[in-house]
Amino acid sequence: MDIPYIARILCSLFAILVFQKLTKRLDLAMFLGILLLGIWTGHSALSIADTIIQRVATADTLTLALVITGVIWLSNLMSHAGIMKDLVTSLKAKLSKRSILAVLPAVIGLLPMPGGALFSCPLIDDADDTGTLAPELKTKINHWCRHIWEFCWPMYPGFLLAGAVSGLPVWQMSLLLCPLTVCAFGAGWFFLLRQAPAGGAEPPPSGKNQPVLPLLLPILTVILVYAVILAAFPAVGEMNTYLPMLLEYAAANDLRLMGDVLELLLIDIHEASDMDEHTTELQVKGLSK
């Protein structure tokens, strides 16, 4: 009996889940699942190894690894700089807790990137500062709300591919498919977000009520640079699938670095100004004596 290839693929995916449950290691489970699928489809061990090497050594795969590194780097920069906590604090002062859980991953979802959960997961954790939500529920909300834009947001490769196949203009497809995004958000609200406590807006600590837009500047930079590259230099995306993403993260990280340098300069100027004022005050006191 010749088993269809789709059935073999599904069985290998199920095997990955079983192996992960047994070994508690996703990397080992995925390797075993790949090995099972390769042997089941008639490949020898040498052929499987050769295929893996060929795929890993491609420019797209190497660029994808750099993109994921950029995601982690930018996320860590924003975390260590306190931007994530400030963003959550500002949103808490404007939205209910339930709304924040939906808005944060949805904002990150505007950016179609590998490893997007690396951005949104820490934000969700910061929003649930009391730890009242189950980790499983936070994972579901994060995943669902981050992907509601896939139907109509023209930065998703799948959306662009559908536009190329159908021959419809991007703006027309976006308008036609917008109702699916609305339905997806409604389903997420009904089945997931209703389980989270509604709460109310929390008054921010003194001096912590910052505008939201500047805090989103690194993320907005990524989106803007990506859109500009695809619009002005489409050949870059054709040359390498993930190169525009790599350039956008480089730009965002450079912006974050420039912001840190500017912040340090402003601190130095402020300290120098305070020192001058203190010196002047001492001089005035000396003259008065």
Q: What is the pLDDT of residues 257-274, one digit of tens each?
A: 555 544 444 444 455 555
Q: Given pLDDT bands bounded at 50, 70 and 90, which one contains residue 93?
A: confident
Burial letters 84-122, b for 16+ CB under 10 A, else e? bbbbbbbbbbebbbbbbbbbbbbbbbbbbbeebbbbbbb
Q: Given pLDDT bands bounded at 50, 70 and 90, which one contains residue 112?
A: low
Q: What is the DSSP string of 32-82?
A: HHHHHHHHHTT--HHHHHHHHHHHHTSHHHHHHHHHHHHHHHHHHHHHHTT
Q: What is the pLDDT of residue 274?
A: 54
Q: Please state the pTM of the whole predicted model.
A: 0.57
The pLDDT tens digits for 142-194 are 999 999 998 988 767 678 668 767 878 777 888 999 999 999 999 999 999 98
**Residue that wins the pLDDT comparison between 199 and 215:** 215
Q: State how far the Cα of 119 lies from the Cα of 84, in Å rounded to an integer.
A: 9
Q: Given pLDDT bands bounded at 50, 70 and 90, which one contains residue 132?
A: confident
Task: Name the one residue in this structure whose structure tokens are 């003259």.
Answer: 287
